Structure 1
Amino acid sequence: MNTPLRLAYSTLFPVTTELQLSPDLVEFLKSGGRAILFGEDGTEYATGIMHPDRIRDETAETWRAATDEVRAIAGLALLALDADISAVHRLHRLTAALPTLSEGKAMTDEAFTAKIHAMAHDARQLGINLVLSPTADVVAKDNPWLAGRTLGDDFAEVSRLVSAYVRGVKRAGIGSTLKHFPGNPVITGLPATQDARIPMTMEALRPYLAPFAAGIEAGVDAVLLSPAIFDAVTPPQPGSISPDLINLLRQELAFSGLVITSDLDHRSTLGNQSLEQIVVEALIAGADLLLVSPAAVPHLRLLARAIEKAVDDGRLPLERLLAASAAVDRVSS
Structure 2
Amino acid sequence: MSFSPDQDARAILLPAFDTFDFMDVMALFLEKGGCSVLLGESRSEYVARSMSAERLAGETADVFRAPIARLKAICPQLIVAVDQELGGIQRLQGLVPNLPSLDEAHALSDEALAERCRVTAMAARELGVSMFLAPIADVIDGQNPWLRGRTMGTYPEAVARLVSAFVTGVQSAGITAVTKHFPGFNDLEQDPALVDVSLHTPLDRLLHNALPFKAAIAAGTRAIMTGPAPVAAIDRENAASTSPAVMTMLRDAFGFKGLIVSDDLDAPATMRGRSLLETAIAAVNAGADLLLVGGGPHLEALCDGLAAAAQSGQISPDRLAEAATRVRRNAVGL
Q: TM-score, normalised by structure 2?
A: 0.96
Please tell me the residue identity of whatever aligns with 1:40.
E
Give the paired residue count. 331
Within-5 A mapping of 1:144-183: 144-183=145-184
- Whole-Å separation in 2 of the counterparts to 1:273 and 1:263: 14
SS in 2 for 1:173: coil
- Whole-Å separation in 1 of the counterparts to 2:182 and 2:101: 23
State the Cα distance separating 1:25 from its structure 2 match.
Answer: 1.9
The more displaced of 201-210 and 29-38 is 201-210
Please tell me the residue identity of whatever aligns with 2:74.
I
State the Cα distance separating 1:5 from its structure 2 match.
Answer: 0.7
State the partner residue of 1:136.
Answer: 137
CA offsets 1:156-176 (integer angstroms, 9 cap, x no match): 110000000000011111211
CA offsets 1:226-251 (integer angstroms, 9 cap, x no match): 00121112443201000100111111
SS in 2 for 1:200: coil
- Whole-Å separation in 1 of the counterparts to 2:188 and 2:49: 20
- Whole-Å separation in 1 of the counterparts to 2:21 and 2:67: 7
CA offsets 1:59-81 (integer angstroms, 9 cap, x no match): 11122212211111123211100
Tell me, yes or no, if structure 1 residue 322 matches structure 2 residue 327: no
Residues 13 and 291 in structure 2, CA contact (< 8 A), matched pair in contact too: yes
Tell me, yes or no, if structure 1 residue 38 matches structure 2 residue 39: yes
State the Cα distance separating 1:30 from its structure 2 match.
Answer: 1.6
Residues 263 and 291 in structure 1, CA contact (< 8 A), matched pair in contact too: yes
- Whole-Å separation in 2 of the counterparts to 1:125 and 1:91: 12
Structure 1 unmatched ranges of 5 or more: none
Within-5 A mapping of 1:233-312: 233-294=234-295, 297-312=296-311
Structure 2 unmatched ranges of 5 or more: none
Residues 49 and 149 in structure 2, CA contact (< 8 A), matched pair in contact too: no
**% of aligned pairs identical?**
36
Residues 156 and 210 in structure 2, CA contact (< 8 A), matched pair in contact too: no
The more displaced of 90-99 and 227-236 is 227-236
Please tell me the residue identity of whatever aligns with 1:315.
Q
CA RMSD of aligned residues (A): 1.2
State the Cα distance separating 1:202 from its structure 2 match.
Answer: 2.1
Residues 264 and 279 in structure 1, CA contact (< 8 A), matched pair in contact too: yes
SS in 1 for 2:99: coil
State the Cα distance separating 1:146 from its structure 2 match.
Answer: 1.3
Q: TM-score, normalised by structure 1?
A: 0.97
Q: 4+ runs of 1 displaced by more than 4 Å?
A: none
CA offsets 1:10-39 (integer angstroms, 9 cap, x no match): 111110111343412222112211110000
Residues 265 and 291 in structure 2, CA contact (< 8 A), matched pair in contact too: yes
Residues 45 and 87 in structure 1, CA contact (< 8 A), matched pair in contact too: no
State the partner residue of 1:14.
Answer: 15
Tell me, yes or no, if structure 1 residue 117 matches structure 2 residue 138: no
CA offsets 1:276-299 (integer angstroms, 9 cap, x no match): 1111111010000110124xx211
